[in-house]
Every structure is written in C-alpha cells, then in structure tokens.
Structure 1
Amino acid sequence: MAETLTKLAYQTFQQGKSYFGLAHKTLSTQLMNFLAPDAKQGTEPLSPALLGLIQQRLNDLIDRDWLDAEQGVYPTHLLFDNPWEDFFRFYPFVWLDMPTIWGRAAEKRYQDFSTDIRTEGYPSYYVQNFHHQTDGYLSETSANLYDLQVEILFNGTADAMRRRTLLPLKRGLEVFNLPDHQTRVLDVACGTGRTLRQIQGMLPDTSLYGVDLSPAYLRKANQLLADVPGALPQLIQANAESIPFLNDYFHGIVSVFLFHELPPEVRQTVIEESFRVLQPGGVFVICDSIQLSDSPELAPAMRNFPTMFHEPYYRHYTTDDLADRLEKAGFMSVQTEVHFMSKYWIARKAA
C-alpha cells in the first residue's frame, strides 16, 4: 500500500512538473510571437501525432525511473529531489531575461557577453551563448537559471534522464568489487552538479569528482552538493580536452549533455582523455541528445532545437557515430539506449 502511494505521489509530482513546463513554454511562445516574431524564424510546427509520440516517450521514461527506484538501483527519495528554493527564487528572472534573449536571437548575436565577464583563456567554441544563455556559461546568473531552464525545456524530466546513467554506472562499478570509499567516479562537464547529486544519493560513500570549464557553475555545484549526506565531491575547473588526473585513475566516468556542444574533433579528444583516466575494466556512460538514426520520426523536433536554442554543433552531432569514436579510442562492448529525448552510450575499457 505504501509503495503504491509513493508511486502515485511520484507520478503526480512528475505530472505537475510537466504541466508547469508546458504552461511556461506555451505562454512564452505566445509572447515571443507577439513581441519578437523574428526570434523564432526557421522553426517548423510539430504535428499532433508527433506531440503524442513525445508524450508517450515521456510517460515511458517516468515508468522506467520509478522501476529503477523500486528495484533498489537508487533510493526513492531521489525521485522527489528538486531545488524548489532555487526554482521559486529564480523563476521571475527567467521571464526578466527573455526580452534580452529574444533580441540576441533575432539579431544572431551569439557571442555577446557582459563587459565584466572574462572570456580569455577559454576555447573559442565555448565562448558562445549556448541556449541563448545570457553570458553563456560564465556568469552567476546563468548558473542560477540553468537547472530551472533545462527542466522547463524537458517538461520536468531532466533529472529522470540524468538518472538513466545510474544503473549502467552502478553495474559497471560492481566488477571491481571494492568498498564504496575506495571507488572513484568522475563527472566530465559536471555543470551545476545535478548528476553528481544523483550519484551521491545512490552511492554516498563513493569518492566523486567533477570537472567543468565554468567557475560560476562549479560554485553553484558546491552549493547544490553541500547538503547531501556523504563525502563532498571534489570539483576542479578544467578543460575536458585535458583532464587533470593520472592515467587509469577512475573506476567510472559519466558525462551528461556535453557532446552535442562540442565540435567533432573535440568530441574525439574528450573521449580519448576519458579513456586515458579510466581504469582497465572501468565503465564510461555518456548521456546526450537523441540522434537521427535512432529516432528519425523526431527529426522535426531535432531540426527545431538548434534553431531555437543556438546549438552550433548540434546538427553534426545528430549524425555523428559516437560508438565508432569510442571504439577508435580503445573502448569495447559499446551499448546504446534511448530514453525520451536522450541517448546513452555505455562503454568499457578492456580489463
């Protein structure tokens, strides 16, 4: 009975987040069409049949998320973990930032940064307003708004998609048969720390590490992770093209929503760096956007995404063979999964 009530509570919780995301996008689209019609140029409407398919995949994701918690992959409290204080505090700023976003989008000003933002020292491909984020990934405001904006984008399922990395990671770590405190896991491009928070909830005694280019996002990650029981993850500002750890150091590596924001040659470099720092027998789990070969019926949504959200490397990513890239780097036994709007690669380094 308690289990049934928990499942019902979770479904209601997710449905509420989904409705919130839909309501926000509907209202903001109507306002954009009225106030800044040029900001949406080049997009195509989605058919009712396609919208129905997307909703069915969303429902399947929620069912899978509940099943993994029910089977003990991770505790059920993770299903309800949401930064409500941040959401209520920063949601008004999402609206206040929209006119600025629409103006940049209409005028295609993709490298605009505030005068107090330092952009030197970063790779050129990174100095962009990805998602039309004001100041890209380099400001405190961007870091405060990011998780809320991604949840709105995915109708409240961003964490559920992140959690699809937990089962293959947990299974991959079991081959070492080590105590949790001797196990090391790295999150490449950890951002605000949402994925690390999920891993920390599942494996509280595991030694967790995160690297990211943005000092602002790392500061946000420290805030997000400080109140979770267990060891505090070690966060380092670094480029994933040169991960600052010794060879064969980690037992598991994850990377979430990174590869579609990298130029093709950089994707290969990051994969090779991940291979270098992973122990023989270790597991590498990538979560990113769906690709055309897996979901051709969702092609209209994929075509809209880079137009609406300024993702300059996304179109190439949708046809890029990451399994081949992983194998070229030395990974073996590459498997893939698709859940809702995300695709997953699970790869091992030979023991």
Structure 2
Amino acid sequence: MPESLTKLTYQTFQQGKNYFGLAHKILSSQLRNLVYPTLQQKTKPIPNELLVKLQQRLNQLLETDWQDAQKGVYPESLLFDNPWQDFFSYYPLVWLDSPQIWERLKQQNYQDFSPEIDTDGYPSYYVQNFHHQSNGYLSDLSANLYDLQVEILFGGAADAMRRRILAPLKQGLKAFDSFTPKQVRILDVACGTGRTLKLIRAALPQASLFGTDLSPAYLRKANELLSQIPGELPQLLQGNAEELPYVDNYFHAVTSVFLFHELPASVRQTVIEQCFRVTKPGGVFIICDSIQLSDSPELEYMMDSFPETFHEPYYKHYTTDNLVERLQRVGFENIEIQDHFMSKYFIAHKPA
C-alpha cells in the first residue's frame, strides 16, 4: 500500500475512534442527566477555544505516532491494532455498568466494593473506585472494561500515548548495545492489562519482559492478552510498587504508564526510589502520566474538573507535583520531559 494511502487510512481510523468516543460521551451525559438531573449541575461544557487546542494536540500526537512508525521505532501494524473482539464483547457491559457508576457518583460513594471482593491486604489508597469503576481495580469485569473505557476517555488515543515511551526506551537501551537482545530486561510497573507490555514486545521482540501489578484480576487479563502474541511470554508478578519484588540493579529499563497520578505524594517518592533501586547503572526509567499545570497551563480547566468527574483523589496534587525533583532526589539524572496530547513523559537515567 502506498505510504500516502496508509497514512490516510491511519488518520481515518483514528478519526473514527475519536468520533465514536465523542458520541459515547455525549449520549452517556444525556442519559445520565435524564436519570440523575442533579448531576448535571456538577458538569460544565468544555469551552470551544479549549476544544480547538485539544484537537491541535491530538493532531500533533497522531503525526508523531505516524512518524515513529515510519522511522521503524515499532511496526506500522501497531497503528491499526485494536481489540475488536473485546470491543464487541464488552462495550454493551460499559452501558450496563453505567447506572451503578452514576449512582456512586450521586452518593459520592468512592469505596464501594461487592462482598465477594477481598480488599484485605491492599493499601488504603488503592481500595478506591477509581474512575467510579465498579469494584475499583479488583474485579475481572473491571479488568475487561478498563482498556475500552480508557480508549473512550481519550477519544481513541490511549495507545498512541502509550507508544510515546517506545522511542526513548529504545534510545535509552543503546547504552547496553554490548548485550544480546535476549539479555535485555525491561520491567513495566503497574502493568495493568498488559497493553504497554504488548507494545514493548512489538518494538523489542526478543527482550525479556516483566510486569508487576497489585491487581490479580488485571494480571489475569494481562496474561490472557500477552499469551496471544508471538515471543517469550512476559513474566508477571503480583506485587506492590512500593516494594518491588526484584533484586537491585536488575533491569536495563523500567517503565510506568498512568500510575503516578493515582498515588499519594509520599507513595510516589517511594515508588521512584524502588524503580531507581532495580534499574541497572546506565539504565533508563520512563514515566508516562497525565499532563501537569507547569507544562500545560492552558488545560487547567480540564485538570481542575478531572478529579471529581472521574474520582481521582490524588490527581490534584499530582498536577503541581515536581517529579523531576523527586527523580533527582533518588539519583536519576539527564531527565528529559516530553508532552503529547494529554500525557507527560519523564525520561530519567541512572548514572553509569
């Protein structure tokens, strides 16, 4: 297929996902306001000038995504990767779960777990209905719906944002060119359903991949996803990022995607300390998370409304937290910052 036609196909594919996400949000809001009119007062429409800026940022993200594929950072096929089977299986369940979410929002009940969900042994900050999800991160239903919900939230751009870690990851691993590809070990902290590990596997097909997460349900989903793709199966472990179950200086690279805004401030520091500990000298640590006020002040309106709209109790502090200072405090250096659409990236190096 000619390059121009492939790019047009990619743009059309992404535009379709964006329109679908927008249509879902509009319809969902209308139904919610009909059933729970009191919630309508809590949500305000996004100003038109802000919508224009968001579209510009999305266009820039998609262009970068396309260019990275053309440079060979990852296979072009990733641009069109979409879990269609999950979509058709689980999208109806998104709607069926919506009334419970709206009721939770109305009651401001943020620690609502079914009796069969065992919450013992988890940190108190984790036992939350993040995004108002039924049973938080501790049920198979939540794990099955998560990727679809995040795609809708970001208008089909979630994977494009995740892929922005791949170029700096491959660049950071050049410090270990003397190692064979299979000797290179990469850890994804809070790997969730395994989407990031799947992308890393496509970009680095022979690397040894590891993932850790607190949720057994999400790890089951990750194992289901990752066992379907070629290559060595990543090693998944249930564990708390505050105490990573690995020896010192073990990984050539460590990644973490969409974790830090869901951690209390003190825990963010502990997790960074742990990531530094398990990273080899000369290795790279990459954080992908939400934008912050320091780099995206024009989107302050959205950052202010996000914590209540989606129940993110630690997000507001995150938007003003100095993660560069936290990274430097434990010893990381040469810290680069990037912004893509609604996400921010910290690329930090452990001294050799």
CA distance in 2, matches of 1:6, 1:40: 42
1:212 alignment partner in structure 2: 213
Amino acid at match of 2:85: E
**Alignment partners' CA distance in 2, 1:107 and 1:201:** 43
The corresponding residue for 1:132 is: 132
Whether 1:146 and 2:152 are equivalent positions in the alignment is no
1:288 counterpart residue number: 289
Tell me: CA distance 1:61–1:322, structure 2 relative to 1, closer, same or farther (3 Å): same
Structure 1 range deviating more: 7-16 or 339-348: 7-16
Looking at structure 2, the residues matched to 324 and 40 of structure 1 have their Cα atoms a distance apart, in angstroms, of 39
Measured in 2, the distance between the counterparts of 1:39 and 1:197 equals 38
Counterpart residue number, 2:90: 90
- The 5 A counterparts of 1:287-306 are 287-306=288-307
The residue that corresponds to 1:29 in the other structure is: 29
Shift of 1:82: 1.2
SS in 1 for 2:255: strand
Structure 1 segments unaligned to the other structure (5+ residues): none
Give the distance between the partners of 1:37 and 1:311, measured in 2 at CA. 22
Amino acid at match of 1:10: Y
Residues 7-34 of structure 1 deviation map (CA, whole Å, 9 limit, x = unaligned): 1111111111111101100100111111
Stretch of structure 1 that moved more, 31-40 or 11-20: 31-40
Point out the more displaced range, 135-144 or 298-307.
298-307
Shift of 1:4: 1.6
The alpha carbon displacement at 1:41 in A equals 4.5
* Residue in 2 that maps onto 1:339: 340
* Larger mean Cα displacement after TM superposition, 31-40 or 306-315: 31-40
User: Counterparts in 2 of 1:68-107, with a 5 A limit?
Assistant: 68-107=68-107
- Structure 2: which 5+ residue stretches go unaligned? none
Q: Which amino acid aligns with 1:212?
A: D
- For the Cα contact (< 8 Å) 1:332–1:349, is it kept in 2? yes
Q: Which residue of 2 aligns with 1:314?
A: 315
- Aligned-partner Cα distance in 1 for 2:55–2:220: 35
1:6, 1:175 → 2: CA distance?
A: 34
Report the Cα distance in structure 2 between the residues aligned to 1:293 and 1:39, rounded to whole angstroms.
Answer: 30
- Write the distance in 1 (CA, Å) between the matches of 2:115 and 2:228: 34
Render the CA deviation track for 1:260-281: whole Å, top value 9, x for unaligned: 0000000000000000000000
How high is the TM-score relative to the length of structure 1?
0.99
The two structures have a TM-score, normalised by structure 2, of: 0.98
Q: CA deviation at 1:40?
A: 5.0
Question: Where does residue 241 of structure 1 map in the other structure?
Answer: 242
Query: In structure 1, what residue type is equivalent to 2:87?
Result: F
The answer to whether 1:259 aligns with 2:233 is no
The residue that corresponds to 2:229 in the other structure is: 228
Task: State the AA in 2 paired with 1:348.
Answer: H
Give the Cα separation in 1 of the matches to 2:339 and 2:40. 28
For residue 117 of structure 2, what is the aligned residue in structure 1? Answer: 117
Aligned length: 351
Q: Provide the C-alpha distance between the structure 2 equivalents of 1:42 and 1:166, rounded to a whole number of angstroms.
A: 38
Tell me, yes or no, if the aligned pair for 1:21 and 1:155 is still in contact at 8 Å.
yes
The percent identity for this pair of structures is 66
> 2:40 and 2:251 mapped to 1: Cα distance?
43
Distance (Å, rounded) in 1 between the aligned partners of 2:41 and 2:330: 39
What RMSD over aligned residues (CA atoms) do the two structures have, in Å? 0.9
**Contact 1:192–1:224, Cα closer than 8 Å, also in 2:** yes
Asked if structure 2 preserves the Cα contact closer than 8 Å seen for 1:39 and 1:103, the reply is no
Per-residue CA deviation, residues 260-313 of structure 1 (Å, 9 max, x unaligned), is 000000000000000000000000000000001111110111111111100000
CA contact (8 A) 1:43 1:307 kept: no
